[in-house]
Structure 1
Amino acid sequence: MGTRRIFLKRAGFSTLALSLPFAETLSAMNFERDDKILRVAIMGLGSYGTRVAEAMVNCQRAKLVGVISGTPSKVETWKQKYGIPDKNCYHYDNFDQIKDNPDIDAVYVITPNSLHKPYSIRVAKAGKHVICEKPMALNAAEGQEMVAACKAAGVHLLVGYRMHFEAKTQEVVRQQRAGEFGETLFFQGLSGFRIGDPTQWRLNYELAGGGSMMDIGIYSINGARYMLGEEPTWVTAQEVKTDPVKFKENVDETITFQMGFPSGAVASCLSTYSLNNLDKFFLNGTKGFAEMQPSTGYGPIKAWTNKGPVEAEHITHQTTQMDEMAAIILDGKKPMIPVDGEEGLKDLVIIDAIYKAVKTGEKVMIS
């Protein structure tokens, strides 16, 4: 059987074979147990789920083996495109049955924000590792429930922080930790784009839990933390809304926010759904600086310091992310920048504080 699999792979028959009568047999062969491969089902087959699936084609340690969706036509398309067998296809009502499916190790939850907590907890209770898109939940209380549920189930909870594995980002963080910029006292994070379709779920408070802060703004929050290497102790924030029709109550259009850190460092950040060309990090220290633009887009990332350009090969972020997450789950690898549930929870605590600061107009302390 191993010889047949190698022959089919080398002959390039995978796509053709799936349209033939023995497609189910071929799929079963492809998904045989391999303790060195993390076998993943994707939940939510929208644009980002599609991006992850396409990136996983080139993974060495992670393989797409299942889907969970409420849209039968998408399931059918993915089955044909990725050779996924019927027994690994679920909908939102019955995916708890994955507990009886040994072919699936982990589920990547890529749904609207409000569904992250309930679906992740169901996955954990089914005994499967959880990979959840960011923000991990709607607030810190929900995030804590997720962390507790995954610990109780004995499964990993990882968050889709793809930038934590990006090579140029890691090099800048390495230099900062090595003291090459001296004492880093200032960070600027600009995160935003002009959002389109006003009917999309990202502008629906019940689904998104907010607006730009619950989507693009988290990049500046998270970036400040890993670029400065500290956790903030206070935040202040201000909101600007120019289009109350598109950005309804509790759906933030633009928030500027500031964070203070134990060392005395400060971060000045912007989160917006109204301006393009905002994807920039700037880190300044007593001996040097680092700048990244674009800093969190799908790439290639561009970075330079006071010493010159930061060079590294561009690899699709989600490909690297999924391979590295496989190493975390299967090998116990410790990443340079954490991607676990506790990391996701820290960002949620800050988001809660930012929203409170917007409403009160006061500095909010973070314990």
Structure 2
Amino acid sequence: MALQLASVKLWADNKNTAHEAYDGPVLRVAIMGLGGYGTRVAGAMQYCTKAKLVGAISGTPKKLTDWQDSFGIPAKNCYNYQTYHQIKNNPDIDAVYITTPNGLHHDMALAVAKAGKHVICEKPMALNAVQGQEMVDACKAAGVKLLVGYRMHFEPHTLEVIRMRKAGELGKILFFRGLCGFKIGDPKQWRLNKELAGGGSLMDIGIYAINGARYMTGEEPIWVTAQETKTDPVKFKEGVDETIQFQFGFPSGATASCLSTYNQNNLDKFFLNGEKGWAEMQPSTGYGPIKGRTHKGELNQPVTTHQTVQMDEFSDILLNGKQPVVPVDGNEAVKDLKIIDAIYAAVKTGKKVELSL
């Protein structure tokens, strides 16, 4: 936890994250799933102005006591996985951020919605599009909102490329390339467990290329083709993909070529090409500083702590009705899940799969 917080503080102390005076409503959040990413979000939230960490939900008692000490969370706002439905009776919590393994998102989101709290869920939102739509429907029926942790939708360098594309500075978009991956370690971790992860690299790092292809081109894919490569069937068991290459076609005629892998480092790269110009980002989605350049020169937008900005933006969306440049709601996530379903179908059949989003 100390390492996570030190990393977050390093970015939060950057001069570009200086606070501005704020006296509006504050979103009060409980985090469910106190692992590595939950801890990163918690640390980043210490620097939010519009959102506050007020609760914690975990199946590990020691984590709950540690978080009470580290983040000043009152014991009355701490729950385990058997008692968290009781948040219904806790007026101090507005929303729950689910950062548990993918396979747990669906049931937890339904329970949080039933308790009358807004749902914030990490991506991918569910294991498939059917589950995702059920989450959207449950939140709508409960009268609560559903947001997904698309932190890159608020990242300044990313938003500048989107602005340039919308302004026509790149001309007609022709091609996108997204390379996402890393060499995964511990073979016993949940990310290599089909039941908990729902797949392999595609369900973890590949989501960035999928979503990135959509917000970079500004279009929805209408077909997908895909191929899987597996060099270690012991580590990457049946249903857990090691490497998948996938391609999209868009209504304008633009195409995308992407790679998702658990067997290569030195990736995390986006490239967008148009008739008048281009944009390249590397790193394009990592936690540290995003770097990029275009045909006009280097991108020099502010460096931010992604999770701090995301949670403040989520507060504005949930409490003030703000509309983000790129959607971050459940419907946006269902589209990604439909694409993931199509990629897996294309891998299995070897055929082009038509899409209608």
TM-score (norm 1): 0.90
8 Å CA contact retained: 2:24, 2:50: no
1:167 to 156, 159, 163: 156
> Pairwise mapping of residues 155-304 of structure 1 onto structure 2 (< 5 A)?
155-304=144-293
**What is the alpha-carbon distance in structure 1 between the residues aligned to residue 119 and residue 139 of structure 2?**
8
> Pairwise mapping of residues 103-122 of structure 1 onto structure 2 (< 5 A)?
103-122=92-111
Match of 1:325 in 2: 314
Q: Which amino acid aligns with 1:264?
A: G
Match of 2:50 in 1: 61
Counterpart of 1:108 in 2: which secondary structure?
strand
8 Å CA contact retained: 2:346, 2:353: yes
What is the CA distance between 1:35 and its match in structure 2?
6.5
Q: Which moved more, 1:34-43 or 1:300-309?
A: 34-43
Q: Which amino acid aligns with 1:179?
A: G
Gaps in structure 1 of 5+ consecutive residues:
1-33
Q: Deviations over 1:285-344 (max 9, x none)?
A: 000000000000002000110000111111100000000000000000000000000000
1:350 to 327, 339, 357: 339
1:360 to 331, 349, 353: 349
**What is the alpha-carbon distance in structure 1 between the residues aligned to residue 301 and residue 355 of structure 2?**
36
**What is the alpha-carbon distance in structure 2 between the residues aligned to residue 103 and residue 86 of structure 1?**
12
Q: Which amino acid aligns with 1:170?
A: L
8 Å CA contact retained: 1:35, 1:330: no
Counterpart of 2:209 in 1: which secondary structure?
helix
TM-score (norm 2): 0.93
Counting aligned pairs with the same residue, the percent is: 72
Counterpart of 2:325 in 1: which secondary structure?
coil
What is the CA distance between 1:281 and its match in structure 2?
0.2
**What is the alpha-carbon distance in structure 2 between the residues aligned to residue 50 and residue 83 of structure 1?**
14
Counterpart of 1:180 in 2: which secondary structure?
coil
What is the CA distance between 1:242 and its match in structure 2?
0.1
Match of 2:66 in 1: 77
Aligned residues between the structures: 334
Q: Which amino acid aligns with 2:247?
A: Q
Match of 1:102 in 2: 91
Match of 1:21 in 2: none
**What is the alpha-carbon distance in structure 2 between the residues aligned to residue 168 and residue 36 of structure 1?**
28
**What is the alpha-carbon distance in structure 2 between the residues aligned to residue 178 and residue 313 of structure 1?**
21
**What is the alpha-carbon distance in structure 1 between the residues aligned to residue 141 and residue 160 of structure 2?**
35
**What is the alpha-carbon distance in structure 2 between the residues aligned to residue 303 and residue 126 of structure 1?**
43
**What is the alpha-carbon distance in structure 2 between the residues aligned to residue 131 and residue 285 of structure 1?**
35
Give the RMSD, CA atoms, in angstroms: 0.7
Counterpart of 1:171 in 2: which secondary structure?
helix
What is the CA distance between 1:348 and its match in structure 2?
0.1
Q: Deviations over 1:11-59 (max 9, x none)?
A: xxxxxxxxxxxxxxxxxxxxxxx96100000000000000000000000
Counterpart of 1:238 in 2: which secondary structure?
strand
- Residues 1:38 and 2:32 aligned together: no
Q: Deviations over 1:253-275 (max 9, x none)?
A: 00000000000000000000000
Counterpart of 2:56 in 1: which secondary structure?
strand
**What is the alpha-carbon distance in structure 2 between the residues aligned to residue 149 and residue 318 of structure 1?**
26
Gaps in structure 2 of 5+ consecutive residues:
1-22
Q: Deviations over 1:101-132 (max 9, x none)?
A: 00000000000101000000100010000000
Counterpart of 2:323 in 1: which secondary structure?
coil
Q: Which amino acid aligns with 1:364?
A: V
Match of 1:25 in 2: none
**What is the alpha-carbon distance in structure 2 between the residues aligned to residue 334 and residue 75 of structure 1?**
34
Q: Deviations over 1:220-257 (max 9, x none)?
A: 00000000000000000000000000000000000000
